[in-house]
Amino acid sequence: MKAFFTSVTLLLLVSISVFAQSAQTEIMLLGCDHFQQLYKKDNRNTDVLSPQRQKEIALIAERIQKFQPDMIAVERLPEEQPELDSIYNLFTSNQLQLSTLPDGRSESYQLAFNIAKNLKLKKVYGVNAPGGTSQSILSNGENIDMYKEEGMQVRNMARAQLAKIQDGSLSIGDYILFLNQPEIIQKTHHLRYIMPSRVTNGKFTNPDALVDTAFVNPKYIGAELTSIFKNRDYKIYSNIVTTQLKQQSRRILVVIGQAHIGSLQSIFRDDPAFKIMEATPYLK
């Protein structure tokens, strides 16, 4: 009898596991640089509104939309949803050129809006969260040289790609492909979420107003920085999953800054309701 109940229990567990996997929501986390920040007024190669860069962005959209998302989310605050809806409705009804917006170069518009319009989606959702800060506020403490050295290596790697964007030898598509390579995501993630904890006994330099220094422990100054970043990512995760619950979406595309990707992937990997879909196969 005991063996019978054991067998039944195992069968139920297997059935539940199979059901959970079949019911998973697929999510693609597409890491981007901020197109608005790429722009140099005296260099047309950096302008995503130029005819050549528009062709490249159209090609990215064409490739990514093969994922067929039924929900697209961007790095905008939920509180900005009415404004986002208004702009998207004007855009989809051909009453607005994105180039006329002050931040019209933003990847939220150039990529997410175009993909959503092509797929005839009704909305693009803002899932960003307040918080975060600059990595530069961690500038002193024990082992700070390790942190600074790794930061320099990652920045030099990024600058090499940006130089190619600036001289016109690298397409926006290949740049996005580079940013979403697993090894590049890992390097960014390590610098932002792993390495800082090695830095101790220091203090933040010119922290943002949102950083509550009253609760910062100088002994764990590096870990405090990571906790600021991670706290924001969990809020972004919460915005994504609660929106999914309301919309009952089955395939989600999130267009967001590349620095968030490794952290968000680690969170979604631990959520059995979701299955991460790699972006790179769609970008090639």
Q: Where residue 10 falls among pLDDT bands split at 50, 70, 90?
A: low
Inform me whether the pLDDT recorded for 44 exceeds 80: yes
Inform me whether the pLDDT recorded for 11 exceeds 60: no
Taking the whole predicted model, whether its pTM rises above 0.95 is answered as no
Inform me whether the pLDDT recorded for 12 exceeds 80: no
State the pLDDT at residue 209.
86
Q: Where residue 2 falls among pLDDT bands split at 50, 70, 90?
A: low
State the pLDDT at residue 19.
45
Question: Could you tell me if residue 6 is inside a domain?
Answer: no
Q: What is the pLDDT of residues 93-137, one digit of tens each?
A: 999 999 999 999 999 999 999 999 999 999 999 999 998 789 999
Ordered DSSP codes for 154-204: HHHHHHHHHHHHHHT-S-HHHHHHHHTSHHHHHHHHIIIIIGGGG-BS--B
User: Is 207 within 8 Å of 134 (Cβ atoms)?
Assistant: no
Inform me whether the pLDDT recorded for 240 exceeds 50: yes
Supply 244's token pair.
Answer: 């999914």
Q: What is the pLDDT of residues 164-196, one digit of tens each?
A: 999 999 999 999 999 999 999 999 999 999 999
d(CA 39, CA 41): 6
Question: Could you tell me if residue 18 is inside a domain?
Answer: no
Question: Could you tell me if residue 92 is inside a domain?
Answer: yes
State the pLDDT at residue 133.
85
Question: Could you tell me if residue 147 is inside a domain?
Answer: yes
State the pLDDT at residue 14.
47
Instruction: Using a pLDDT cut of 70, give the percent of the chain over it.
Output: 92
d(CA 258, CA 35): 12
List the domain range (segments joined by +) for residue 215.
25-283
- How many domains are contained in the chain? 1
Q: Where residue 152 falls among pLDDT bands split at 50, 70, 90?
A: very high
State the pLDDT at residue 131.
83
**For all residues of the chain together, what is the average pLDDT?**
94
